[in-house]
Amino acid sequence: MERLGHDLTRFFSPKSIAIVGVSREASHLGGMSFLSYLLDSGFPGRLYPINLQAKEIGGLRAYPSLTSLPEVPELAIVCVPAPHVPSVLEECARNGLKHIHILTAGFKETGTEEGERLEEQVAAIARERGLLIMGPNCMGPYCPSSRLTAWGVIPGRAGHLGVISQSGGITQRLTEYTCFLGMGVDKAASIGNATVLDSADYLEFMAEDEGIRLIAMYLESVRDGKRLLHLVRDVNHQKPIILLKGGGTQAGASTVASHTGSMAGEQTLWEAFVRQTGVIQVLSMNEWVDAILAFYHLPGPTGKGVFLVGGGGGNSVLHADTCIREGLDVPSLSEASMERLQRIVPVAGSIAGNPLDLWMTFHDQACLAEVLEIAYGDPQIQIVIVDRLIPRKIYHMPDMPDSTATVIDFIRGNQHRKPTIFIVESEGGDPGLATKGSALRAQLCEAGIPAYPSVERAARALVHLHRYHTWCATEDLI
């Protein structure tokens, strides 16, 4: 089957959509929820609910069939029960409607003969009639700039992230997560069982899409491993690909079979895939978002020497341990830096060095700037981590003027010198602090300064960033 270079644009910016199988009842899934979310998000195109009986749904005129519509819509969202899907596909084909998203579940993933048969039928119709099908068993396309955000945050935030994912829930969460952290999505595709269009098709499309600068993938399976391998390896040079692979263990893999009806594949094969493509592999939702955050905003560091700024002796010890364990370096500063530091750090109760234990940096922005100036000028240092908020109820200083805006300005003016990120620990079981920490984290991220909830998570993201740029540099030499 020829699949190179499918134009998938219409999936993401259709001028008109037919939603086939909209019941009049609201529910959290199904056609009616898609319709109402599209209305909520202010989708500017024409919407056609299809329902055999209804005259009107959600304030819109309803139609009994695709054939009865006043135009051929550019996209169909199919929500009818699985056994009716083949006849809807035939109707699409008859009407010249090529781009189809099948929301419906109940195919191969059920493990039943009937489900298997229906999925084969979908594939056969698509092949014979030249249909481009996203799904089945998925949430479909998402594109904030088209206000096509029927799932996910509404209206969503446009940006330069591309997402390809075999889980609607995980994609939904990722779009929400990135939006709250100040990043935007160009296009996301929840591709479910990927019966017709496979991850490689979407990747090929996104590789050419100028609006997309990095790509997040959640995969459970792949049909043509060799094709994906070559593609990922090529694309990864231009646009970092951050891959979350589900089903890496036996229990996970058997769940994959029930989720998207596919084989998760041998773990050893996946490991070879990661090695050969240089893809950035992450193991959890949080690690995924953490890495995306680093790649979204930061230039590649020229080394892995980290300068740690914070307060607290034990804290400094543990932060240094963690950075090293995760794969970064925490080098000694140059003599010149140490001389400058020792002039501002008190002998007792603080520690001049790397890590720097200096409480003053929490509330005195001039002191923080002075310290960072030293780090930016030190040849041992290529990355800076600033620990910003230690969750101690007793040390809250509500009377202190908030210096965050000044600090943000300073960092923004200097981040081209060395990538600088923040740690905002708002764990600690105190709901008030959780709120405050989450808001501060969002404020920093909005300003393009990655902020992480722990040093572990920050360090891991930075290791991914450093490894990727090292891989690119090595590959370029070959």
Contacting its own copies within 114-143 (CB under 8 A): none
Contact 150, 103 (CB under 8 A): no
Which C-beta is closer to its own copies: that of 172 or that of 277? Answer: 172
Q: What sign does the CA torsion over 266, 268, 274, 280 have?
A: positive
CA distance 141 to 88: 19
Among 404, 442, 448, 470, binds its own copies (CB under 8 A): 442
- Does residue 144 have a cis peptide bond before it, meaning omega lies within 30 degrees of 0? no
Q: Specify the residue, 329 or 472, whose C-beta has the smaller distance to its own copies.
A: 329
Binds its own copies by CB under 8 A, chosen from 120, 128, 409, 427 = 427
Site string for its own copies, 217-246 (x = CB under 8 A): -x-x-----------------------x-x
Question: One symbol per residue from 3 to 32: x for binding its own copies (CB under 8 A), - otherwise; what is it?
Answer: -------------------------xx---
Q: Residue type at 203? A: L
Token couple for 248: 């890496």
Task: Specify the pairing of strand 56-57 against strand 241-245.
Answer: unpaired
Smaller CB separation from its own copies, 110 or 470: 110
Asked if 324 is part of the footprint of its own copies (rule: CB under 8 A), the reply reads yes
The C-alpha atoms of residue 44 and residue 282 are separated, in whole angstroms, by 37
Q: Which of residues 292-321 bind its own copies (CB under 8 A)?
A: 311-318, 320-321
Q: Does 166 bind its own copies (CB under 8 A)?
A: yes
CB of 151 to its own copies, least distance (A): 6
Please name the residue that has the structure tokens 């550019």: 74
Taking the CA atoms of 412, 414, 416 and 418 in sequence, report the sign of the dihedral they define: negative
Closest to its own copies by CB, 73 vs 162, is 162
Binding to its own copies (CB under 8 A) within 246-275 occurs at 246-252, 254-256, 258-260
Near its own copies in 35-54, by CB under 8 A: 37
* 66 or 105: CB nearest its own copies: 105
Between 66 and 322, name the residue whose CB sits nearer to its own copies: 322
Cβ contacts of residue 466 below 8 Å, gap of 6+?
Answer: 300, 301, 303, 304, 328, 383
Does position 64 interact with its own copies (CB under 8 A)? The reply is no
Distance CA 323, CA 317 (A): 10
Window contacting its own copies (CB under 8 A); options: 7-15, 64-72, 92-100, 105-113? 105-113
Neighbours of 212 (CB within 10 A): 20
- When asked if residue 325 is in the footprint of its own copies (CB under 8 A), the reply is yes
The span of 46-54, 352-360, 381-389, 465-473 binding its own copies (CB under 8 A) equals 352-360
| Minimum distance of its own copies from residue 137's CB (angstroms) | 8
Give the residue with the Cβ less far from its own copies, 110 or 403: 110
Can you tell me the distance from the alpha carbon of 272 to that of 265, in angstroms, rounded to the nearest whole number? 12
- Contact between 342 and its own copies (CB under 8 A)? no
Q: Least distance in Å: CB of 438 to its own copies?
A: 4
Question: What is the spatial distance between Cα 400 and Cα 102, in angstroms, rounded to a whole number?
Answer: 55
Regarding beta strands 420-424 and 451-452, do their DSSP bridges make them parallel or antiparallel, or are they unpaired? parallel
Q: How far apart are CA 66 and CA 165, in angstroms?
A: 29
Give the torsion sign (CA, 124, 129, 131, 137): negative
Task: CB nearer to its own copies: give 73 or 247.
Answer: 247
One residue of 206, 292, 330, 369 binding its own copies per CB under 8 A: 330
Nearer to its own copies, 48 or 151 (CB): 151
Burial 247-282 (b: 16+ CB within 10 A, else e): bbeeeebeebbebbbbebbeeeebeebeeebbbbbb
**Longest alpha-carbon distance in the chain:** 82
Q: List 397's β-bridge partners, or say none.
A: none
The Cα–Cα gap between 440 and 361 comes to: 16
**Of residues 169-198, which lie at the interface with its own copies (CB under 8 A)?**
169-170, 172-173, 176-181
Residues in 357-416 at the binding interface with its own copies, rule: CB under 8 A = 357, 359, 390-395
Q: How far is the CB of 477 from its own copies (least distance, A)?
A: 30
Q: Which helix (H) or strand (E) holds 289?
A: helix 285-297
Interface with its own copies: number of residues (CB under 8 A): 99
